[in-house]
Structure 1
Amino acid sequence: MKHAILLLSLSLVLTNCNIYQKPAPEAGVSQRLAKQRKAHISDLNYTLSIIVPEDKDEPIDGHSIIRFNLNSRTTTYLDFKADDQQLLQLIINEDTIPSPVIENEHIQLHKSSLIKGANTVQVKYILGDGALNRNTDYFYALFVPDRARTAIPCFDQPDIKGTFEVKMDLPEGWTGVANGQATTKQATEGRIQLEFATSQPISTYLWAFTAGQYQFDSVNWKDKTIGLFHMVDDSTKYNRNIEEVFRQTLASLDWLEDYTDFNYPFDTYNLVAIPSFQFGGMEHPGATYYRSEKLFLDENPTRNEELARANLIAHETAHMWFGDLVTMPWFDEVWLKEVFANYMADKITEPWFPEMNHQLRFLLAHFPAAYAVDRTAGTNPIGQQLKNLQNAGTLYGGIIYHKSPIVMKQLEKMAGEAQLQQGIREYVKTNAFSNASWNNLIACIDKYTETDLKVWSNAWVFEAGRPIIHFEPSAEEKTIWQLNQVAEHPELASPKTYWPQAINIIQKDSIRLEYEMFDASINLDTDPEELNTLFLADEKGYGLVRLTAPQINYWLNNSHMVEDELLRGRIVINLYENFLDGSIHPDKFLNYLLESIKKEINPLMLSQYANQLQTVFWQFIPETSWDTLSAKIENELWVLVETQQTIANKKTLFRLWSNISMSEDANEQLAQILTGKYNIEGITLSDNDKIRIISQLSIKEYQDSKELQAETVELLNSQHNKEKLSFMLPSLSPNAADRDAFFLSLSKIENRSKEAWVQSALANLHHPLRTNHSVHYLPTTLQLLEEIQQTGDIFFPIGWLGSSFGKHSSEEAYNVAHRFLNNHPNYPEHLKLKILQNIDMTQRAYTIKEKYY
């Protein structure tokens, strides 16, 4: 009997010891864990209190109170990617948990301490610094897509929305902003205490709090104050831009309220302009972050730069409804909020630029960038799979931001503009402050249209790649021509995949033919071999159209005769894709681009020709031909710079000339322009222009570049830009050992904190004039990629690879990546795709050079 009692007692002790030892979920936030929590948790509220020290290297202390309802008494987990030493105290419903631990990036909330109904969890901890972007005089939290858990214990998933309130204890002279309205400010013993009201229900990736030595400005809109927090130290630049920034913000808010028939959904609206912010913008309710340089443009901006700012402001404002008010359930549909924001931004900004051809702008803004990914073996569908939120950042890229707007444009045509708006209004109203998927949207739109959208949706949203569109005689009747679609990468698409779309063709005397290609093959009513046949003659048709050799030659020599700017845009895109497909000699294509530049007056088209010319020159022309060819091109371009009357076009041509020119005379002239000894009429150099010029002169080994570097730092107006150039200087050194040491320093996370600066420096290291040396950086570049993805923000892995591989054109560089992937057969699929995307141009470059030279 004593033995039985002893065994029972021992069993109870072991049971009590093990109640906290239930195996934790896998690291990150798995879809399985997210679904379990969503099924049990509701009525969630977070209160965050932080104490920010004056020294940016000192830790930030945090205290969170998390209140939520459980529909049953069940063990659940908070997400917290931190060390045990950062977790200082855990109290669950007044039950203090002894020696709390973090396991697999989670804190267990055991059911023995929880109750059915209302629960309160208190956590004291040291905030993780990785997502706090701390600087000497400011910091900002940036949590998209899954980085809230790296700083704060939380349920880090988009479909458990909660209200969020913040209290900040700050150094004297600082101010701050968060998702809710500021309610209390007081000063105590050289410190500032701020409190912010509770936000509306939002997802954790939308949490925002930032503080620093910000300046503040505001305007009134309806019953709200629209604020702008900034650190711009160039008052002239600030004053030149601020009125337009506010005007575009208010106009965007007005338009979106009208279009959605739903009032602005949040209590407050602030813009926060942050120097060298990682993204163009990030749509936190109440505290939308912007890269300061994107809002406050340099003097004499190009029309493209003005349009880019307008679209950025409209895009981030649209997110207040699409993403923030209505949020995707899981980050596999992150594209849904982005396609809405792009679609709305295009509509909002079109009236602001009445002189612009907006069909052409849409074509050039989205098709080249979408094709740049979709033509590669690493392409992905718009709708991707995501098993764990820790990989959500890798979903971002050209497909989400550029292919999805093209798909939305097709949807608008199929459903009808008015019917689409009705569906969107219902979608917003039905799912306000909640979550909704693409299928929910399609269901809303389906009510207002007779078109079956499911087949179309499956192909465009869930299949990878693009179609190759080609024509050939019918197998049954040789006099009948057929237009066929096949997958460019059959191994990436489902068998028998085709992309339903309307194909517009112009032929002969401007006869326009439109075919509804809702099959893999259709019969044509015309002979598509005619020399002047123009395929995809609108801003909707999508794919690689393989032209015949006579058609290619015809358009290389006659495209300037086409008066319609949209059609000229289609021609240059079609020819470029055929060039990359290996069908055009680089010399012929370069000559076509140069001749087109001489004749073009449309600023959008001129920019497109200029961008392609730089790519072809540096990557597809043999290195042995650079000097001779550059001497010819730079002279012709300089004549255009001096004679061009339009300031925006003059600036585009000047940037192209300074990029391509290599002669000693050109370098000397560029140095005189930099120092103000020679002025180009109508062009005032900005800080960014000066940094660009000194970088080019240094890389091209101008004899006085070292002295000029120091002089340029002093010429810069902004302290931020002075620091940026100083950071980049080692990457500009003529000494290879200095550049090697700088590259090695990037292996330390603290040297990568300014990601935009790092990408600029990498571009210097890997300039085409230096790739023979920098190719040996590429193995380390790949070895660091997983760490870059885990520690950097969402666009940094793409930027890290693109700035490194982007200008390489040798088989050696391609083989580095090829060997790496062969040696790592179990490498994460999402990162493997990014590598394949970024080495595609390298492979095309060396194979095309091998073919033609």
Structure 2
Amino acid sequence: MPGENLTRVEAQERAALIRTYNYEVALDLTTGPETFRSTTTVRFGAADGASTFIDAITRTVHSVTLNGVELDPASVSDGVRIRLDGLQVENELTVVADAIYTNTGEGLHRFVDPVDGEVYLYSQFEVPDSRRMFAVFEQPDLKATFQFTVTAPDHWQVVSNSPTPQPTDAGNGAKTWTFAPSPVISSYITALIAGPYHSVHSELTSRDGRTVPLGVFARKSLAEYLDADYIFEKTREGFAFYEEKFDYAYPFEKYDQLFVPEFNAGAMENAGAVTFTETYVFRSKVTDAIKERRVVTILHELAHMWFGDLVTMKWWNDLWLNESFAEYASTLATAEATEWHEAWTTFAAMEKSWAYRQDQLPSTHPIVATINDLEDVQVNFDGITYAKGASVLKQLVAWVGQDDFLAGVSAYFKENAHGNTELRDLLVQLEAKSGRDLADWSRKWLETAGVNTLRPELEVDADGVITAFSVLQSAAPDYPTIRPHRLAIGFYNLVDGKLVRDHRVELDVDGERTDVAELVGLKRPDLVLINDDDLAYAKIRLDEESLAVAIEHLSRIESPLARSLVWGAVWDATRDAETKACDYVRLVLGNIASETESTTLRTTLNQLVLAASAYVAPDSQKATSEEAAAALWTLAEQAEAGSDAQFQFVKFFAALASTDEQLATVAALRDGATKLDGLEIDTDLAWELLVALAAGGKAGTAEIEAALAADNTANGAQFAAQAAASIPTLEGKQAAWDSVFGSDALPNTIVRFTGLGFQRAADKNVLAAFIRPYFASLQDIWTSRTYKIAEYLVAGMYPAPLANLELRDATRAWLDANPEPAALRRLVVENLAGVERALAAQAKDAS
């Protein structure tokens, strides 16, 4: 990987030397399963006599022709870059090379469907991987038009940024598609998707009167599960919402959405050709949380057509401009334009908890991050860039007003269409529309790291009347910024069996102490909720009396958003070792039955599993996990037949099941001997139950192979890898280890699912044998694997469930001995932070 890196300084120097006009890229996809022929002609201007380089990750460079002069490929190309000397004011470069298909989800990914043997391709170029498909000046500020000509098998569909043309016959069972040039865009949002995809088509009318063709695509073997009509419906709702709010018509000719195999992320905003993980094609029942997440993702990528594709950041330090805005806008659109009206509750439960968790890691960084090179940005697709940035934008909107905010965004699009921007370009427009000076806001919120903690301090007299009320604000010692917050304080009282808000005050909080005179003289409520309605980005604490009420009565809070905030506050105090993990477990098991919001349910149950297995005192973990599993099974039996809650309780019961009796129940569910009304054991749920049985030592290789034979699909292969890696013996774990470290042939999703299974075991001590080989392997995998595979190995094969002093000390020792590379160190530092937090929580629980 180091040879593939690009520094910001290099990018700035290259941008100062050249300006790109257009690319013509011819691709021949009929040359075999390993490589394809890539011919790139790029026209660009340059400083006369300058020298620079173009990026091209290739197996073989056949020819390089610069301004009519043949250059020696052996002299100018190292397989990653091609050196260009003696440039003229106007230049034409042609590179003919063999490029390499990947199975890592980076570049041009090649997948063979085990169901029918068909080949499917898709591109994934963010951050630096269009250079794996064609020769390119790989940086976002060197925009150009891109014209693709693609030769492929004649039964394939071929999709790119421009509308798909009628192909011509190329002979030998192939056809050639010649696309029109794209608009001026950055290279990382160009796209190629090719294969015998099943497609459904529709159209909509844009606000400027244009007819915009729509397409939804998936593999043929998934066609029966593709709910294209619903996807078109959400797309139309998003188009209408954004075109009105942004006051700017959709900027591209068509809009295709393609669900592709073995995708590393949720989706990617290629201009007019968005790719999604095909896990969003639901072949089995999924939670309502996943259904809502798909809608948010659809609208997130659609928002990018304006923010990111039409207007693009100049360099990756402003990646947040793309992602935070899309995250904020998609949640707003989901709440206001679709049936998922509680999207901000979901945001509080999921996105903001992600942001708070990321912002407390040693690797936290300002929203506007320092990005020195490509490796820096690769690890920056995180909870700061997405969720904290969106949370801060939500707070900014509350401050300047939504109408002024959106007016400023519209002006930003109009001023910078097809160009590149920096943070200041957006702030100028927001200041002009709102009349507010945002320099201080930007400095405190965007240019500093860390999250503040807000807690109430109140005094009451003998009659329970408040005589003093203050909001206290603190900051982490390493990130001491005290910030201004716009927030609400809610008073909740038990009335007729419900916790009802009967008083609310909204105010500005700044400094370490803010007195709230408006609350003096009121009777102390049963529960005080700081940051009611979730206006601010800050950790919140409950006072001691409110925490006691929450543990007993959280389920009686009527507002889903308020419940989510209380869940989050207690969990955060547990993570910070202020509240005992056993109390959090009691809170969840006593109140989760009546939770109505699917994402809150899913998030809270995930946290329950972590608390029971890693945060309670080690001597109590086994008993606590058994107790939690038993309680979840009881909740599943009592839940409404066929409900989302029933479904989730069963899934998390299986995740925690460990006793012979519990595992027997899992087996009986899977084979149909035990039934719950309304619960179907479909293909994916059967796999999850099998993984639980394997992790508990009640299923092995024979059962896994039989299940895979019955479900010989990509999903089946992933679950089989997870189940095999879950086998809780040293031999089982060693086999999983050898499969991913001993070969680089496995595709990205199999590596990731192997990691998920590796970290499950009835006896966590079996993982101790892998501490030493883990650290011995790190530097080698970082230099020998692509970024995404290396990341999966560093995170997935870390024996985190041990959460003990031996693992902590070994991790610290490796960090002390390995000052470089920075991106690898960041991943290991984050692993260590999880262990240290678990140890602190265990100590609190044991106290």
TM (norm. structure 1) is: 0.88
Aligned equivalents of 2:14 and 2:295: distance in 1?
40
Aligned equivalents of 1:799 and 1:339: distance in 2?
27
Give the deviation of 1:486 after TM superposition: 3.0
After superposition, the Cα gap between the structure-2 partners of 1:390 and 1:122, relative to the gap in structure 1 and judged at 3 Å, is: farther
Aligned equivalents of 1:458 and 1:224: distance in 2?
41
The corresponding residue for 1:753 is 747
- Match runs of 1:536-555 below 5 Å: 536-555=531-550
RMSD: 2.9
- Match runs of 1:561-640 below 5 Å: 561-622=556-617, 624-640=619-635
1:519 aligns with 2:492: no
Match among 80, 88, 100 for residue 115 of structure 1: 88
Structure 1 contact 29–79 (Cα < 8 Å) conserved: no
After superposition, the Cα gap between the structure-2 partners of 1:161 and 1:552, relative to the gap in structure 1 and judged at 3 Å, is: same
The corresponding residue for 2:760 is 767
The corresponding residue for 2:462 is none
Match among 15, 34, 39 for residue 38 of structure 1: 15
Match among 651, 654, 658 for residue 658 of structure 1: 654
1:51 aligns with 2:16: no
Structure 1 contact 87–101 (Cα < 8 Å) conserved: no
Give the deviation of 1:622 after TM superposition: 4.5
Q: Which moved more, 1:441-450 or 1:582-591?
A: 582-591
The corresponding residue for 1:217 is 200
1:61 aligns with 2:33: no
Structure 1 contact 817–839 (Cα < 8 Å) conserved: yes
Structure 2 contact 560–596 (Cα < 8 Å) conserved: no
After superposition, the Cα gap between the structure-2 partners of 1:138 and 1:779, relative to the gap in structure 1 and judged at 3 Å, is: farther
| Matched position secondary structure for 1:134 | strand
The corresponding residue for 1:11 is none
The corresponding residue for 1:149 is 131
After superposition, the Cα gap between the structure-2 partners of 1:524 and 1:829, relative to the gap in structure 1 and judged at 3 Å, is: farther
Give the deviation of 1:785 after TM superposition: 5.1
Aligned equivalents of 1:569 and 1:236: distance in 2?
36
Aligned equivalents of 2:232 and 2:309: distance in 1?
21
Structure 1 contact 145–794 (Cα < 8 Å) conserved: no
Aligned equivalents of 1:354 and 1:204: distance in 2?
35
1:283-337: per-residue Cα shift (whole Å, max 9, x none)?
111321111111x124443221211110111111111111111100001111111
1:80 aligns with 2:56: yes
After superposition, the Cα gap between the structure-2 partners of 1:723 and 1:582, relative to the gap in structure 1 and judged at 3 Å, is: closer
Match among 713, 736, 740 for residue 719 of structure 1: 713
The corresponding residue for 2:832 is 839
Aligned equivalents of 2:556 and 2:611: distance in 1?
23
Match for 1:503: what amino acid?
L
Match for 1:127: what amino acid?
A
Aligned equivalents of 1:807 and 1:151: distance in 2?
39
Structure 1 contact 373–837 (Cα < 8 Å) conserved: no
Give the deviation of 1:803 after TM superposition: 6.4
Q: Which moved more, 1:624-633 or 1:124-133?
A: 624-633
Structure 1 contact 814–843 (Cα < 8 Å) conserved: yes
Aligned equivalents of 2:453 and 2:761: distance in 1?
31
1:736 aligns with 2:713: no
Give the deviation of 1:229 after TM superposition: 2.7
The corresponding residue for 2:116 is none
The corresponding residue for 1:164 is 146
After superposition, the Cα gap between the structure-2 partners of 1:852 and 1:650, relative to the gap in structure 1 and judged at 3 Å, is: closer
For structure 2, list consecutive stretches of 5 or more residues without a partner in the other structure. 113-118, 206-210, 460-466, 494-501
| Matched position secondary structure for 2:62 | strand
The corresponding residue for 1:125 is 97
| Matched position secondary structure for 2:450 | coil
After superposition, the Cα gap between the structure-2 partners of 1:733 and 1:805, relative to the gap in structure 1 and judged at 3 Å, is: closer
Aligned equivalents of 1:758 and 1:360: distance in 2?
33
Structure 2 contact 541–573 (Cα < 8 Å) conserved: yes
| Matched position secondary structure for 1:337 | helix
| Matched position secondary structure for 1:38 | helix
Match for 1:606: what amino acid?
L
1:583-619: per-residue Cα shift (whole Å, max 9, x none)?
2222222111100123434434433432221111111
Structure 1 contact 54–171 (Cα < 8 Å) conserved: no
Give the deviation of 1:157 after TM superposition: 0.5
1:405 aligns with 2:390: yes
1:331 aligns with 2:308: no
Match among 88, 94, 104 for residue 68 of structure 2: 94
Structure 2 contact 719–753 (Cα < 8 Å) conserved: no
1:230 aligns with 2:218: yes
The corresponding residue for 1:498 is 482
Match among 270, 273, 297 for residue 312 of structure 1: 297
After superposition, the Cα gap between the structure-2 partners of 1:205 and 1:749, relative to the gap in structure 1 and judged at 3 Å, is: farther
The corresponding residue for 2:157 is 175
After superposition, the Cα gap between the structure-2 partners of 1:627 and 1:339, relative to the gap in structure 1 and judged at 3 Å, is: closer
1:564-588: per-residue Cα shift (whole Å, max 9, x none)?
3322221111111111222222222
After superposition, the Cα gap between the structure-2 partners of 1:269 and 1:399, relative to the gap in structure 1 and judged at 3 Å, is: same
1:18-50: per-residue Cα shift (whole Å, max 9, x none)?
xxxxxxx99632222322332343352111112
Give the deviation of 1:663 after TM superposition: 2.6
Aligned equivalents of 2:260 and 2:222: distance in 1?
14
Match among 688, 691, 696 for residue 692 of structure 2: 696
Structure 1 contact 378–832 (Cα < 8 Å) conserved: no
The corresponding residue for 1:192 is 175
Give the deviation of 1:172 after TM superposition: 4.6
Match for 1:293: what amino acid?
T
The corresponding residue for 2:268 is 282
Structure 1 contact 302–651 (Cα < 8 Å) conserved: yes
Structure 1 contact 218–228 (Cα < 8 Å) conserved: yes
Structure 1 contact 500–518 (Cα < 8 Å) conserved: yes
After superposition, the Cα gap between the structure-2 partners of 1:213 and 1:543, relative to the gap in structure 1 and judged at 3 Å, is: same
The corresponding residue for 1:343 is 328
Q: Which moved more, 1:225-234 or 1:349-358?
A: 349-358
After superposition, the Cα gap between the structure-2 partners of 1:543 and 1:795, relative to the gap in structure 1 and judged at 3 Å, is: farther
1:394 aligns with 2:379: yes
The corresponding residue for 1:13 is none
Structure 2 contact 452–538 (Cα < 8 Å) conserved: yes
Q: Which moved more, 1:797-806 or 1:369-378?
A: 797-806
Structure 2 contact 724–757 (Cα < 8 Å) conserved: no
The corresponding residue for 2:551 is 556
1:355-380: per-residue Cα shift (whole Å, max 9, x none)?
74343222112221111111222222
1:675 aligns with 2:671: yes
Match among 805, 808, 813 for residue 819 of structure 1: 813
Aligned equivalents of 1:275 and 1:723: distance in 2?
12
Q: Which moved more, 1:252-261 or 1:501-510?
A: 501-510
Give the deviation of 1:435 after TM superposition: 0.9
After superposition, the Cα gap between the structure-2 partners of 1:249 and 1:784, relative to the gap in structure 1 and judged at 3 Å, is: farther
Aligned equivalents of 1:551 and 1:576: distance in 2?
14
